[in-house]
Every structure is written in C-alpha cells, then in structure tokens.
Amino acid sequence: MSSSEILTSQGYIQHHLTNLTLGVHPEHGFGFAHSSADAAAMGFWAVNVDTVFFSVLLGGLFLWFFKGVAEKVTAGIPAGAQNFAEWIVDFVEDNVRGSFNAKNAMVAPLALTIFAWVFLMNLMDLLPVDLLPYLFGQFIAVFGADPHHVFLRVVPTTDPNATFGMALTVFFLVLFYSVKMKGVGGFLGELTLQPFGKFGLPANLLLEGISLLSKPLSLALRLFGNMYAGEMIFILIALLYGGSMTLNITGGLLQFVWAVFHILIITLQAFIFMVLTIVYLDMAHQEHH
C-alpha cells in the first residue's frame, strides 16, 4: 500500500470521526470547523451541531410515537403500535419494581425516556456510514460549500459530550434526591462517616467521594466506549469497498454480521444505562444507619 493510500484511509477515518462543529476559531472567527484541528481549536464552548440535531430529532420521535399511541389507546386486547408501546412500558416498569424500593413517580417515566432515547440514538449506528454524510454533502454543495470540508456524525452516543451530558443529568438527580431524602446532614454524614465511622473520616471521604464520582463516569464512558468502538468497526469495514469484487463481497458480509451482532450491543447499552440510573436513584433514596 502506498503512502498516499494510507493517507487516504486515514483521512477517511478522520473525516467520519469529526463532528459538524460550530464555534469561534481564534484565527478565523465564528463559523463551522473545516477540520478536526479547527474543531479542537474552538475549545469548550463549541457546539457539535450534528449531535444536538440528531439527539433532539430522535427525542422528538420518541415523544411523537408515545403521544400518538396514548391518544389512540383502546380498552381490551392491544394490537399494533399500542401493543408495542405497552410492552416497552411493562418492561421498564418491571425493572423499576425490581430495582427501586422507594416511592417516586418520576423514576419510571425517566427510565422509559432513557431506555427509548438511548436505544434510538444507538440505532443510528446501523445506517450505512456514508449514507447520511453523503446526502448532507450533496445538499450543502448546492449552496456552494465544499462537501469535503463538511462533517456529519449521525450517532449522538459516539460523542462524549452527549453521553456525559446525560450522565451528569442523572448525577444531579442523584445528588438532589440524596439531599432531599436524607437532608444535608445525612448526605454529608454518608460521605464522611461510612464505612469506618467518625475516626476514619479522611478514608471515608476518599472512598465515598470516589464511589460517588464514579457513577457519572461509568455511565458516560461505558456508553461512549461501546458505541465508539462499534462505529469504528463499521468505518474500517467500509474501507474494504472499492478495492475489488472479492473485497466488496467480504465487506458486505462483514458488515451484515457485525450489524446483526451490534443490535445486541445497542439494546444492551440502552438497558444498562437505564438500570444503572434506577439503581443509583434507589441508592439516593436509601438511608444508611
């Protein structure tokens, strides 16, 4: 393989791993990034437009579907969309009853939202890696933009900004209910007096602090890591196309096999995020003695 081919492959991978980023560049001012280096230079306040767009779109799709089912719900034996929606609701409620021992009417709707939303965002990974970026490139080319400098990542959960955003939201809920149910004194007491009592305060604070902070980290990094790896494998398989008929057929078979296996991964990651959220909120409602 020549150096130009290596650069082409690397460029292809880099292009698919770069978000459509909007921000203020220190040299070029406000606008969209034209490379991953531009995106990095824009810093913390830059916005990954594709992540926000697809997250909101899929969240809206979830709300539209369940709202439509709720408006047309009928008594008796459910069928079609109602049966599917009730199956998901029953599945989530069974997990809430099995893992959440306190009383909080917010937990089940939150768990349903997390499961359905994360699943839909993960599901975008099953689309051909070049399909939506190509269509978007053709669309913006009509307005005179260079499609080679336009990026589009369609799987929001491959962006750590999205996974950390969801994880931090759960973390703030955990802190809120920990203080609400136990009081400020009870919450601080758990951090400083468990598990070694008042004489082990520094060790208690260290252990409990690490345990508390690990919650959002585990939620965010687990989801991001699995989905990022899945996206990378799809991109690497796509590199096989265009070489020869044998490579095209091999790429097609590999893509099909990985897509079938990936269905399990995207469902499992949505389930894990939901269950851990339920467990963490249950722990926030429980008082240690």
Return phi, psi of residue 182, to 5°: -110, -10
Active site residue 226: yes
> In sequence order, which ranges of 124-240 are alpha helices (DSSP H)?
131-141, 160-193, 201-238
Cα distance between residue 256 and residue 248, in whole Å: 12
Which residue is listed with tokens 């109602």?
82
For residues 99 and 279, the answer to whether their CB atoms sit within 8 Å is yes
DSSP states of 79-95: -HHHHHHHHHHHHHHHH
Go through 133-164 and write b for each residue having 16 or more CB atoms within 10 A of its CB, e for each that does not: beebbeeeeeeeeeeeebbbbbbbbbbbbbbb
| Catalytic residue (one of 9, 35, 161, 218) | 218
DSSP states of 100-141: --S--TTHHHHHHHHHHHHHHHHHGGGS-TTHHHHHHHHHHH
Q: How far is CA 186 from the centre of its chain?
A: 33
Return phi, psi of residue 102, to 5°: -90, -175
Which residue is listed with tokens 């997250």?
55
For 62, 64, 155, 242, the CA distances from 57, given in Å and listed in that order, are 9, 10, 12, 33
Active site residue 161: no
| Catalytic residue (one of 3, 222, 244, 248) | 222
Structure letter (DSSP) for residue 31: E
For residues 119 and 270, the answer to whether their CB atoms sit within 8 Å is yes
For residues 122 and 155, the answer to whether their CB atoms sit within 8 Å is yes
Give catalytic residues, as residue numbers: 218, 222, 226
